[in-house]
Amino acid sequence: MKLSGAIFDLDGVLVNTVPLHFKAWKTMFNEYGHRFEMEDYLKYVDGRPRRDGARAILKELNGEELKVATDKKQSYYLKFLEEDPIEIFQSSIELVKAFEKAGIKCAVASSSKNTLKVLGKAKLTDLFGAIVTGNDFKKGKPDPEIFLTAALRLGLSSKECIVFEDAKAGVESGKNGGFFTIGLNRHNNPKELEVADIVVDDLADLPYDKIIRITRER
């Protein structure tokens, strides 16, 4: 494989907004009388479009009611995003910079419609040649449309790109699109990511030189 592009999920890969999302989802679901814990977040919500996540829990709501619920979640998230700091995974950012220095194009691809806000707050926007947000595709993960869109914007095919993901649905999305896919085990559950080509706890465990060596052998 000749590696020409790298596509990074945002939440859980480049930045840690999981605490903010979880707090927003939990606040909203509790209003509807549903208990919501981190295991529910990881199983039903993480990496998926907002409406799909809400539908997985609020099965009793119709379409319009579901929209009200997702709007509530969004308002809570934006409030927490404004108030709370964002943790940046420095090892991931260092890898992005190493790729860019070597001429490997980099993109962000996230299901979140808040992607530009998060990148802006974290001051990461200028690092990427392409940005795909939840506004840019129709089929949510594990459908590969999100990553295929990112590859297209980089002017590359899936066979030339590597995908970095921390969620089960995201890893499946990458593999379904024909991408070499690396899973980040942020939640101490590597079995959820086993479909990935490689699973690591952090990208500090997989430096640029090692990635190049591995991909050349594929």
**Which ranges constitute the DSSP H helices of the chain?**
18-31, 38-40, 50-57, 63-83, 90-101, 115-122, 145-154, 168-176, 208-216
Q: What is the pLDDT of residue 218?
A: 83
122 backbone dihedrals φ, ψ, rounded to 5°: -85, -5
DSSP-derived secondary structure letter, 180: E
pLDDT in tens, 103-132: 999 999 998 888 999 999 999 999 999 999
Residues 120 and 160 in one domain: yes
HEC assignment per residue over 18-51 = HHHHHHHHHHHHHHCCCCCCHHHHHHHHCCCCHH
Give the predicted TM-score (pTM) of the model.
Answer: 0.85
Residues 77 and 96 in one domain: no
Q: What is the pLDDT of residue 113?
A: 86
Task: Say if residues 183 and 26 touch (Cβ distance below 8 Å).
Answer: no
Residue 70, domain CATH: 1.10.150.240
Tell me the one-letter amino acid at 86: I
Half-sphere exposure of 9 (CA within 13 A, CB side): 30
Task: Give yes or no: 9 in active site.
Answer: yes
Please choose, from the candidates 37, 58, 34, 33, the residue with its C-alpha nearest in 3D space to the C-alpha of residue 46: 37
Catalytic residue chosen out of the listed positions 9, 40, 46, 166: 9
Given 68, 83, 98, the domain boundary residue is: 83
Q: Residue 145: CB partners within 8 Å, gap ≥ 6?
A: 137, 138, 139
Task: Say if residues 196 and 183 touch (Cβ distance below 8 Å).
Answer: yes
Residues 99 and 29 in one domain: no
pLDDT in tens, 5-64: 999 999 999 999 889 999 999 999 999 999 999 999 988 988 788 899 999 999 999 989
Count of structural domains within the chain? 2
Residues 194 and 93 in one domain: yes
Catalytic residue chosen out of the listed positions 11, 40, 46, 166: 11
Rounded CA-CA distance 30/137 in Å is 30
Mean per-residue pLDDT for 74-79? 94
Residue 199, domain CATH: 3.40.50.1000
pLDDT in tens, 135-170: 999 998 999 999 999 999 999 999 999 999 999 999
Residues 94 and 158 in one domain: yes
Given 48, 66, 83, the domain boundary residue is: 83
Q: How sure is the predictor about 205, in pLDDT bands with cuts at 50, 70 and 90?
A: very high
Full residue range of the structural domain in which residue 41 is found: 18-83
Q: What is the pLDDT of residue 67?
A: 95
Residues 118 and 53 in one domain: no
Q: What is the pLDDT of residue 200?
A: 97
Residues 70 and 146 in one domain: no
Residues 140 and 178 in one domain: yes
Q: How sure is the predictor about 189, in pLDDT bands with cuts at 50, 70 and 90?
A: confident
Q: What is the pLDDT of residue 187?
A: 83
